[in-house]
Amino acid sequence: MGIEHTSVPRWPADAPPFDPRARSATVLALCADAEPVAAAWAAAGGAAGVPVSSCTGDLEQALRHLDADMAGAVVGWRLLVAGPEAEVLRVRARATELGAVGSEVLAHVTGVPSRRVLCVHCDAVTETDEPVGGTVACAGCGHDLHLYHHVSRRLGAYLGFLTDAEERDPAGAVLETR
């Protein structure tokens, strides 16, 4: 497309290195593909004498682990998280919500097997393997949504809106929700 979309995140191919200035770290692996990266981070931390708290698991487990670690962490702490884009965005959003600044969160995205799409009409979030620009059936209201190139870091989701709105008759009220 040749247009820079600065709300859609772009991920470098290589994982960022363990931050040599860290004094403590939480390392999260959100899928099997992420485990080698997480292990390398943990090893680097260990070699530097930095206490590392690791978790390999699904998103819910990772978020619980993160909450617990951040409750006791002191400045000098870093979060290193690896996994699919949708889960990494959620973890990063949670860390920010709890007070982390940008450089305290190091992320590696192993791939984008799915995207979360917020239906701006009914507020449901639909997980899909459609690409940006594709069409998704909303899990909430059932309508076809255009998967738009606009990402909310806070929600960890792409914007979806009615794809064929202009072809339809005008809706008199908010779309029916489930």
Partner 1 sequence: MTTTSLVPAASELAQADPSPTVAVTGPGLLSLRVQAVETAADGVRTVTLTGADGGALPAHPPGSHLVLHCGGRRNAYSLTGCGTRPRSYTVSVLLLGDGQGGSRWVHGLQPGDHVLADRPRSAFAPVATARHHLLIAGGIGITPLLSHARAARRWQRSFELLYGYRPGAGAHLPELRELCGPRLLELPQLPDFLAAVEARLVASPVGTHVYACGPAAMLDAVLERADELGWPQERVHTERFSAADLDPGAPFRAVLRRSGRRVPVPSGVSLLTALEGAGVPVPNLCRQGVCGECRVGVLAGAPLHRDLFLSDEEKAAGDSVMCCVSRSEDPDLELDL
Partner 2 sequence: MTPDLDDRLDLDARPLPRRVREFPFPFPTDSYRYSTNVEAAGAANPTAAGAWGASVLAVDEFYVGDATECAGLLAADPSRCQELPHMRPAVWDAVLYVLTQLERARPDYFRLEDLGEDRFRWTNRPLGLQQSFRYGDDSTLPTDPLRWLAPQVQDDLVLLDQREGALWADAGVVTAAADWSMKFDVGMSFLEVHGPVPRIHPERIISRAQDFLMRLQPGEEYRRTNWTMTVGRRLDVATETYPEWGPDRRLVLAQDLGARLHLRVEVQHLVRLPSSGAVLFLIRTYLLPLRDIAHVPQWRDRLAAVLDELPEDMADYKGLTRYRRAAADWLRAAGAP
Residue 19 engages partner 1 in binding (rule: CB under 8 A):
yes
> Binder to partner 2 among 110, 148, 177, 178 (CB under 8 A)?
148
Among partner 2, partner 1, none, partner that 41 touches (CB below 5 to 8 angstroms by kind)? none
> Binder to partner 1 among 18, 41, 77, 148 (CB under 8 A)?
77
Q: For residue 140, which phi and psi values (nearest 5 degrees)?
A: -95, -65
**Degrees (nearest 5) of the Cα angle 76, 80, 81?**
150
Residue 78 engages partner 1 in binding (rule: CB under 8 A):
yes
Rounded Cα distance, 113 and 99, in Å: 29
**Which residues have CB under 8 Å from 97's CB, separation 6+?**
154
Segment near partner 2 (CB under 8 A), from 20-28, 39-47, 61-69, 164-172?
164-172
> Binder to partner 1 among 30, 70, 88, 138 (CB under 8 A)?
70
CB of 93 to partner 2, least distance (A): 9
Rounded Cα distance, 149 and 70, in Å: 32
Please give the size of the binding site for partner 1, defined by CB under 8 A: 18
Residues that bind partner 2 (CB under 8 A): 3-8, 101-102, 118, 120-121, 123, 148-155, 159, 161-162, 165-172, 174-175
